[in-house]
Amino acid sequence: MSDDFTFFGLQIALRNFEKDEVRARLHALIAAGAEAQELNQKRTFWKRLTAIVNEAAPAFERGHWDLIRGSRAEAEFETWTSEIEGALASEPEELGAATDEVHRLSSERYYVLITFLFLVVADSNSDLTLGERCDIPEKDWRRRETFQRLVATPPLLNFANVRADAVYLVPGNDTDGLSTLDLASKDYEYLEPID
């Protein structure tokens, strides 16, 4: 492990209203994104994505974010990505036509999770930007305005200093969602109410 990186992770549970197109728009944008992008394409992708997410700020219900510098940064990035990818049905063979009711606590589909992950070079301008954006008094960590500020951060990063970035939308298709019971399970106990 190295002390040469900083990790930033953000996860928000969005209330997915029945006639709301945010879920479908997010899914379409993420699905259309190329795995390998030039620096200007990354900035454009993140600008579009963060604009859609912040449009849905009134629907932010639960969330979690973290900034980790030093020796644990790379491991934290790997932990988040492996846990999300391990639980996410993403391959054609894994995707069924219906919700997997055996592994779900309810057939309600009220919520989706959006996750942003970044691993940036320590002491770079991107690291300084993350530090400044995350310098928030503890009493404000769970405020809606804080999550909006953090969602708006990726387009401010210099992607030449970003070693890795990832975005996940859970569940992994454009029609499914999580229930209130799913979010109340031990799998998501780290997500705290957003004020």
Q: Average pLDDT of 13-24?
A: 81
User: Which structure tokens are listed for 17?
Assistant: 């209203």
41-62 per-position pLDDT tens digit: 999 999 999 999 999 999 999 9
Residue 56 falls inside a structural domain: yes
33-41: long-range contacts at Cβ-Cβ below 8 A with a sequence spacing of 24 or more?
A: 39/159, 39/160
Residue 192 falls inside a structural domain: no
Residue 194 falls inside a structural domain: no
Query: CA-to-CA distance for 63 and 147, rounded, in angstroms?
Result: 8
**Whether 191 contacts 63, CB under 8 Å:** yes
Contacts of 79 (CB under 8 A, 6+ apart): none
Sign of CA dihedral 91, 47, 152, 180: negative
Place of tokens 């391959």: 91
Print the domain residue range for 138: 5-92+100-110+125-183
Residue 43 falls inside a structural domain: yes
Look at residue 167 and give its three-state secondary structure: strand
* CA nearest to 151, candidates 44, 49, 6: 49
Residue 53 falls inside a structural domain: yes
Q: What is the pLDDT of residue 114?
A: 96
Confidence of residue 2 (pLDDT cuts 50, 70, 90): low
User: Which structure tokens are listed for 32?
Assistant: 């259309």
84-142 per-position pLDDT tens digit: 988 765 444 444 445 444 444 456 678 999 999 999 999 999 999 999 999 999 999 99
Q: CB count, 10 Å around CB of 137?
A: 8
Residue 68 falls inside a structural domain: yes
Confidence of residue 174 (pLDDT cuts 50, 70, 90): low
Q: How many domains does the chain have?
A: 1
Confidence of residue 21 (pLDDT cuts 50, 70, 90): confident
